[in-house]
Amino acid sequence: MSASLLTIEDLNVSFPGRSGITHAVRNASFTLGRERLGIVGESGSGKSTTGRALLGLVPRPGIVTAQTMTYAGRNLLACSEREWQELRGRRMSMVMQDPKYSLNPVQTVGHQISETCYLHLRTSREDARRRTIAMLEAVQIRDPELVSQLYPHQLSGGMGQRVMIAMMLIAEPDLLIADEPTSALDVTVQNEVLRILDALVRERGMGLIFISHNLTVVSSFCDRVLIMYGGRIVEECAARDLNNARHPYTRALVAATPSLDVPRAELATVVRDPAWLQ
């Protein structure tokens, strides 16, 4: 692994509310190089909130604190909103779960993608359009000229997700956070999208944080995996060793997943131990 792109120490995210403070992320520490890092966990484990915190996108009244949060030598904790805006989209970006809700429904997709180009790269409109078409081609859209003129509702789920990826990658960021990028897609389409992401990591040397609840996908796609439970990172392991994980929670998750290879009469259920939250 090359020098780390992102270093996070003791990240905490909390949301004050009427019934007290909710700690969504507790003391999370990890580093990311030019690799594919998976974050797995169940609903409410803090995996998406971690991703948002890295982009400075935790909504109010959420509070983000950390010992260290550096990205390519830059201290993210000291960033002003203006500096964040320079980083986001240009140096780091995020692919959301559902393209239906994350694309602007009243703009053509070509318009939305090229906007990033002239905002961040200060290109001419003509150049932005050319890059947009090239980018759509890179994410394997068959007729990029046509698709760039379509509105989001005219796209299938798989195409929408590819458009999202194209939009996030057009400014060539070094860090991509993908939050459940394939969960809304059919399995055969899912693998096409994963192949696109894989090629980008290998060819461009991008760092990828891949947030997912799907253990099969994470263990076959990522290099390393963080397992989150109750806002904590309970275990870190190499993706291919996920089936031999040590933490009882990870082992329970693996045993609770129906498998094509190991038929089970009954699935194991996860018995939660309060000690995991200590």
Other Cβ atoms within 10 Å of 10 Cβ, number = 13
- State the minimum distance, in angstroms, from the CB of residue 88 to other proteins: 28
Per-residue DSSP letters for 176-206? EEEESTTTTS-HHHHHHHHHHHHHHHHHH--
Residue 188 binds other proteins (CB under 8 A): yes
Residue 219 binds other proteins (CB under 8 A): yes
Query: Pattern 13-42, binding to other proteins, x per CB under 8 A?
Result: -----------------------------x
- Which listed range, 18-26, 102-110, 118-126, 210-218, lies at the site for other proteins (CB under 8 A)? 210-218
Contacting residues for 98 by C-beta, under 8 A, at least 6 apart: 184
- Which listed range, 3-11, 74-82, 162-170, 189-197, lies at the site for other proteins (CB under 8 A)? 189-197
By beta-carbon proximity to other proteins, the closer residue of 148 and 190 is 190
Per-residue DSSP letters for 204-231? H--EEEEEES-HHHHHHH-SEEEEEETT
- State the minimum distance, in angstroms, from the CB of residue 242 to other proteins: 11
CA–CA separation, 162 and 165 (whole Å): 5
The pair phi, psi for residue 242, each rounded to 5°, is -60, -35
Q: In the complex, which residues of this chain contact other proteins (CB under 8 A)?
A: 42-43, 157, 186-191, 194-195, 198, 213, 215-217, 219-221, 252-253, 256-261, 263-264, 266-270
